[in-house]
A and B are shown apart, each in its own frame.
Chain A
């Protein structure tokens, strides 16, 4: 079955501390993985995707096919990182239907 699991509903860390938001997936083929973010009172927006292999706002995520994981990391959290983070998977093709994790609420304490 195709599934995305984000085990933490809530993650609270202090400003300046490292952050890791976990994402594991189950998919039979070669998926594309994404992290979307929703800041307070804003729309869902793409943070990063594994095929880009880039760092956005200091966040990185590496696709580990062996562990079927796509964890999101940032070495030093900032208060403006507080948001809801969703990991999502697509089987690719033309439709890019996304399968979503339940989301992790990240709170950065001052």
Chain B
């Protein structure tokens, strides 16, 4: 069964460093998402991406964040200058197009620790 894959599973970085989190969505899916979950808190929406552009983003997704689909398979989240409060689990998800396809398929997450 196809799955969403994310790398790395865990990344430790120094404050101010750039981080790129990578995701490979399910191949026939057209909508892509990033969510994050700070330890002990709710899962929060960051951004959705469709047809090679951002379709929606939250207040969290400020100028320090960017997403890209550099080729036909990868979907990346970049944080330009990490802050301590960026420490969280970041989940990538994808969804296929169509009616009643509200199901999101999630990756296992990338844990980011900013020191």
When distances are taken between beta carbons in the complex, the residues of chain A under 8 Å from B109 are: 43
The reply to whether the CB of B91 lies closer than 8 angstroms to some CB of chain A is yes
Interface size counted on chain B using CB atoms at 8 A? 26
Interface size counted on chain A using CB atoms at 8 A? 23
CB within 8 A of A44: which of B45, B91, B95? B91
When distances are taken between beta carbons in the complex, the residues of chain B under 8 Å from A44 are: 43, 91, 93, 106
- CB contact under 8 A between A100 and B43, given known A44-B106, A51-B100: yes
B91, B93, B102 pick with most chain A CB within 10 angstroms: B102
B95–A96 touching, CB < 8 Å: yes
B42–A95 touching, CB < 8 Å: no
Per the bound structure, the CA–CA distance linking A98 and B106 in Å amounts to 12
The reply to whether the CB of A90 lies closer than 8 angstroms to some CB of chain B is yes
Give the distance to chain B from A105, nearest Cβ to Cβ, in Å: 12
Per the bound structure, the CA–CA distance linking A94 and B41 in Å amounts to 27
B55–A90 touching, CB < 8 Å: no
Query: Which residues of B line the A interface, CB within 8 A?
Result: 3-4, 31, 33, 35, 41-45, 48, 50, 55-56, 91, 93, 95, 100, 102-109
